[in-house]
Amino acid sequence: MQVTAAEIWHALNQGEFRFFYQPKVSFLTGQVSGAEALIRWQRDERTIVPPDAFIPVALAHGLVPEITQSMFPRLVEDFQRIRSVNAATTVALNVTAQDLDTPRLLALVRAAVAGGSISSSQLEIEITESETVSGSEMTTSSLHALIGEGVQLSMDDYGTGYSSLDSLNRLPFDAIKMDQSFVLRMLSSPKSATLVKASVAMAQMLGLKTVIEGIETEGVYNTLIHCGCHEGQGYWISPPLAPDDYLAFLNAGNRWPASPVGMLRMAQLSHTWQKTLLVDAVFAYIKSEKRGDLNLKGLHTGHAECALGHWHCGLGKAFAGDPDYESLDVPHRAMHDICETIFSVIDTEFSLAQLKGMLDELTDNSNRVTASLQRLEARLLMEELGRGRGH
Ligand code: C2E
Ligand code: MG
Ligand code: MG
């Protein structure tokens, strides 16, 4: 179907656009955590035009900001109804560089937040990486201003552009949304599965949340549930729903499979990664003659501040009293103490045998931490399988 700019204008003036909401589910709780607002053009009683049929035309004619600005109040209105059913969910809006090239969207967001219609932490902005690349300085400064307001920023369709890593590096994203194409091919292509899982792991190491969209089957859901991704979205959970249907969906209070194993695995991964970073940095420091450009400080944190410590003092507390959970505290603290000792002697005369002794001690403690985490993981997996079999 060919759509013209004049038809889009007309539809805008007639109020023919509306949002559908596609639920996202938390892999940790199995509950709905939020929804993505996806625009639809209700041309007549029976015809709903999908965004791919008109957003590209609107973009080509610079009409997208008009659409976004006129739809934002609708989003806020819908959200107020959503909030009355479930106050803990978020809503995500897709924006383009064109939207950010004017200060209007920012002004609308600020006004809605100031008026209490939506809290900024419940509003997410999804932007594709190609949009951020083509964007001007204004785009970047609008994104920073939105983040300054407390709005969450997600990189949409991660992995499809040319410079996802560059954009991740330049802009303070809170989350990445893995592109559907990888997810749709996951079960038939081990390469796609690896790309999804490795991207989740990379995001974790950068302190970013991950959302996986395009989950069309139970098999894909169950393949992803332990990969450390935070949220899932896709037809298997629900298609995008008209506002009333989304409210009914929330009201039904359904639950999807959930597991703490993903977060536990991410704690393990961060732990091993942190140790590798430390060993590399110490090696480079000792080997280099010019040490001025090598900074060891950032690597040295207290045991509660590293990624594993955050997990231990945060989500991991759900396992308090569990012998494996409890048994990782002592070797983990010991690891931080050894690091402190290494840093305290690094600028003094010390023998390589001394250093080897400390690294061995670090490894022994790290192995004890890993063993505890892996035993805990295996037990949780067996419990999940047992529940599935009705044991
Ligand atoms: P997106 O932001 O990546 O949104 C995800 C798209 O995947 C949606 O298509 C959604 O309906 C579809 N989808 C969801 N689950 C599945 C699944 O399990 N399998 C498959 N194959 N597809 C799934 P939709 O609604 O047609 O939107 C297409 C694109 O149009 C969006 O991609 C987004 O880039 C753009 N778009 C949608 N709404 C807006 C809007 O309000 N403003 C702007 N600027 N762009 C929008
Ligand atoms: Mg999106
Ligand atoms: Mg997407």
Question: Separation of 202 CA from ligand 2 center, angstroms?
Answer: 20
CA distance 280 to 33: 39
Pocket (CB within 6 angstroms of ligand 1) = 22, 38-39, 50-52, 55, 64, 94, 96, 126, 156-157, 180, 213-216, 234-235, 240
Predicted pLDDT of residue 301: 78
**Closest ligand to Cα 24:** 1
**Closest ligand to Cα 92:** 2
Predicted pLDDT of residue 391: 52
**Closest ligand to Cα 52:** 1
Question: Separation of 52 CA from ligand 1 center, angstroms?
Answer: 8
Question: Separation of 156 CA from ligand 2 center, angstroms?
Answer: 5
Predicted pLDDT of residue 38: 98
Predicted pLDDT of residue 159: 86
The neighbourhood of ligand 3, an ion, using CB within 5 A, equals 156-157
Are residues 193 and 205 in contact, defined by beta-carbon separation less than 8 angstroms? no
Predicted pLDDT of residue 365: 97
Given ligand 1 and candidates 94, 100, 123, 183, which is best to mutate, with the most ligand atoms within 8 Å of its CB? 94
Given ligand 1 and candidates 12, 19, 24, 38, which is best to mutate, with the most ligand atoms within 8 Å of its CB? 38
359: its two tokens? 């690294």
CA distance 122 to 107: 17
Which residues on neighbouring strands pair with residue 261, listed in sequence order?
none
Are residues 124 and 156 in contact, defined by beta-carbon separation less than 8 angstroms? no
Axis-axis angle for helices 329-345, 352-388 (nearest 10): 160
Residue listed under structure tokens 């300085």: 137
Q: Whose CA is nearest to atom 34 of ligand 1?
A: 94
Q: Which long-range contacts link 69-72 to residues 24+ away (Cβ below 8 Å)?
A: 69/99, 69/104, 69/105, 69/108, 70/12, 70/17, 71/17, 71/19, 71/39, 72/105, 72/108, 72/109, 72/112
CA distance 154 to 171: 10
pLDDT in tens, the chain (391 residues): 689 999 999 999 999 999 999 999 999 999 999 999 999 999 988 999 999 999 999 999 999 999 999 999 999 999 999 999 999 999 999 999 999 999 999 999 999 999 999 999 999 999 987 777 666 788 889 999 999 999 999 999 998 877 678 888 888 899 999 999 999 998 899 999 999 999 999 999 899 999 999 999 999 999 999 999 999 999 999 999 999 999 999 999 999 999 999 999 999 999 999 899 889 988 988 888 777 667 777 777 788 888 899 999 999 999 999 999 999 999 999 999 999 999 888 888 889 999 999 999 999 999 999 999 999 999 999 999 998 766 5
Question: Separation of 213 CA from ligand 3 center, angstroms?
Answer: 7
Question: Separation of 36 CA from ligand 2 center, angstroms?
Answer: 7
CA distance 245 to 247: 5
332: its two tokens? 């983990």
CA distances from 288 to 205, 213, 282, 291, 293 (A): 26, 45, 10, 6, 10
